């Protein structure tokens, strides 16, 4: 369980669980078909036992029995794997999801300047809700584009900490702040600084004002300006 939790996040566990369930259903269908075929062959064998085809039928029945045993072994392995994934996913939801939401809520509150207090998961499979400072809840689909992106970032930052607690893997971000106003951008940059204390963060952007805002909020951030190349091979100016 600990190995699966360390190597997979909740989305990956859900996908693996769905794949295992699908494989189990396919094996169950194949197993049922083999049982039916074996039954039909057994009936035919009784009728043809004294005929010349009896030997061929016996051979085919033996092959089906061998195939059935192979499928039975695989079914047992997949059943065990599916149960292990289900338990791992449950453990993640019960033990780590609350911590992810707590951390994401703190990031979200900082990014929105306190306009929103936390992120709420109403139930399994349900949409996330944003709770305002006066305790009202708003479905994520009704938030403005900028606030939605802040919620997404808060969750992404929190999940990064939960899915690799022992190994702080680098976090790569690509032009996520394009639709942020200056206030929202500055607050989000400060949260980015908190995340950068735990792991390396690499942000790509082709917008000068984003780079300037990051530099202003995080003076120690390293800015690397790349040059765009023309088809002739000569540099034309900074790109991202």
* Per-residue pLDDT, 7: 59
Q: What is the pLDDT of residue 115?
A: 93
Looking at residue 223, its pLDDT comes to 85
By C-alpha distance, which of 183, 179, 217, 215 is closest to 113? 183
How many whole angstroms separate alpha carbon 207 and alpha carbon 182? 13
Average pLDDT estimate for 129-141: 89
What is the pLDDT at residue 84?
Answer: 67
**Residue 95, pLDDT above cutoff 70:** no
Distances from the Cα of 142 to the Cαs of 122, 123, 179, in angstroms?
Answer: 15, 18, 17
Of 17-21, 44-48, 139-143, the range with the lowest mean pLDDT is: 44-48
Smallest CA-to-CA distance from 155 within 89, 108, 85, 218 is with 108
Phi, psi of 123, deg, nearest 5: 180, 170
pLDDT at 132: 92
116-143 average pLDDT score: 83
Report the DSSP beta bridge partners of residue 120. Answer: 129
pLDDT in tens, 199-222: 888 989 888 888 888 888 888 888
Query: Please, what is the average pLDDT of the chain?
Result: 79
Please say if the pLDDT value at position 104 is more than 70: yes
Average pLDDT of the residues in 27-54: 80
How far apart CA 130 and CA 46 sit, in angstroms, is 69
Q: How many residues appear in the chain?
A: 240
pLDDT at 236: 43
106: confidence class by pLDDT, cuts 50, 70, 90: very high
Number of CB atoms found within 10 A of residue 232's CB: 6
pLDDT single digits (tens) 157-190: 888 877 666 677 888 888 878 778 888 889 999 9
Q: Which of 135, 142, 103, 97 is nearest to 117 (CA)?
A: 135
**Percentage of the chain exceeding pLDDT 70:** 77
């Amino acid at each position: 369980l600990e190995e699966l939790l360390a190597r997979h996040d909740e989305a990956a566990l859900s996908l693996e669980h769905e794949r295992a369930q699908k494989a189990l259903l396919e094996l169950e269908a194949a197993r049922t078909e083999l049982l039916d075929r074996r039954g039909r062959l057994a009936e035919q064998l009784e009728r043809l036992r004294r005929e010349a085809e009896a030997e061929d039928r016996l051979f085919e029945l033996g092959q089906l029995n061998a195939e059935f045993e192979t499928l039975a072994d695989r079914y047992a392995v997949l059943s065990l794997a599916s149960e292990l994934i289900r338990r791992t996913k449950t453990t993640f939801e019960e033990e780590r999801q609350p911590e992810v939401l707590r951390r994401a809520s703190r990031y979200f509150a900082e990014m929105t300047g306190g306009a929103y207090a936390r992120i709420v998961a109403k139930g399994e499979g349900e949409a996330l809700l944003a709770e305002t400072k006066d305790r009202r809840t708003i479905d994520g689909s009704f938030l403005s584009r900028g606030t939605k992106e802040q919620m997404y970032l808060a969750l992404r930052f929190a999940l990064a900490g939960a899915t690799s607690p022992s190994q702080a893997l680098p976090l790569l971000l690509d032009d996520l702040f394009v639709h942020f106003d200056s206030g929202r951008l500055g607050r989000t940059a400060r949260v980015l600084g908190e995340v950068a204390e735990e792991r390396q963060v690499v942000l790509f952007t082709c917008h000068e004002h984003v780079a300037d805002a990051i530099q202003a909020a995080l003076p120690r951030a390293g800015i690397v300006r790349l040059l765009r190349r023309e088809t002739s091979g000569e540099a034309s100016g900074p790109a991202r």
